[in-house]
């Protein structure tokens, strides 16, 4: 079942009924409102995926005010304007204030249906891409690792790491504030059970020279005496 929600805001019940009929077969959840006050009340209780919004409600430009309120809550939500105003200036105003599309009345229900479904698909794809991008990035304190570009940043400044240094940093960032033995580090990063302690020490020193404020006064990548190493992103 499609659980996406659409709010139709128009003070003409015939228009609202026409839009509802054009969308009822899509499986979308269609809500209706006829005023700014009613819409604000509904918004306090329900989160919508798309708005079909008339410009002229009780007053001439109520729709613009309402659109601004909607976009303040969620700048990414699609808004399709429905309006009897056909002047170029009105269309430009509607688009510049943040609407995705400006549809003039009278309109064909099939066009409304196609535009709604297209806007929802595009919005969903953008949201999923954004979520995926967030999953492909690790941010801890002042450090950030972009797993798409495989780049490491300190205070948003790119730090040049080699491929293996980046892998080692990724391991520490995925497991912050935890102490690991040299065996554990080597088996996870080098994927080899034959631990090379000297190699680990060399790479740890390289990382410290690149990420520490002062490599002689270690704050982030610490040696835990007698056990191994730990990454403290807050500089413990």
Domains 5-134 and 137-231 are alike in CATH topology:
no
Q: What are the tens digits of pLDDT across the range 201-213?
A: 888 999 999 999 9
**What is the per-residue pLDDT for 23?**
93
**For residue 210, what are its two tokens?**
């690149």
Q: Is the pTM of this model over 0.85?
A: no
**What is the per-residue pLDDT for 21?**
93
> Minimal CA–CA distance to 232: which of 179, 166, 155?
179
Domain ranges (residues) in the chain: 5-134, 137-231
The domain made up of 137-231 has a fold known as: Arc Repressor Mutant, subunit A (1.10.10)
**What is the per-residue pLDDT for 64?**
83
**What is the per-residue pLDDT for 20?**
93
The span from the CA of 236 to the CA of 234, in Å, is 6
Q: What are the tens digits of pLDDT across the range 128-177?
A: 666 665 668 888 999 999 988 889 999 999 998 888 889 899 999 989 99
Superfamily of domain 5-134: Response regulator (3.40.50.2300)
Q: What parts of the chain have a pLDDT lower than 50?
A: none
**What is the per-residue pLDDT for 118?**
87
Burial class (CB in 10 A: 0-12, 13-18, 19+), 6: buried
**What is the per-residue pLDDT for 71?**
86
> Minimal CA–CA distance to 66: which of 17, 118, 8?
8
């Amino acid at each position: 079942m499609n659980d996406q929600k659409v709010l139709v805001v128009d003070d003409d019940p015939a228009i609202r009924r026409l839009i509802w009929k054009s969308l009822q077969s899509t499986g979308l959840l269609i809500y209706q409102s006829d005023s700014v006050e009613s819409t604000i009340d509904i918004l306090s209780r329900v989160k919508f995926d798309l708005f079909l919004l008339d410009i002229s409600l009780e007053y001439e430009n109520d729709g613009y005010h309402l659109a601004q309120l909607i976009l303040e809550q969620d700048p990414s939500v699609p808004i399709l304007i429905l309006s009897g105003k056909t002047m170029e200036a009105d269309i430009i105003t509607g688009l510049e204030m943040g609407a995705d599309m400006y549809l003039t009345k009278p309109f064909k229900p099939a066009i409304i249906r196609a535009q709604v479904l297209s806007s929802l698909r595009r919005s969903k794809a953008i949201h999923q891409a954004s979520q995926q991008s967030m999953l492909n990035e690790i941010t801890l304190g002042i450090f950030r690792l972009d797993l798409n570009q495989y780049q490491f940043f300190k205070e948003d400044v790119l730090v040049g790491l080699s491929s293996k240094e980046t892998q080692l940093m990724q391991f520490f960032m995925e497991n912050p504030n935890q102490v690991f033995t040299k065996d554990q580090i080597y088996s996870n990063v080098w994927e080899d059970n034959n631990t090379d302690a000297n190699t680990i020490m060399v790479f740890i020193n390289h990382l410290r020279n690149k990420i520490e404020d002062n490599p002689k006064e270690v704050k982030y990548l610490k040696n835990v005496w007698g056990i191994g190493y730990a990454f403290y992103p807050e500089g413990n």
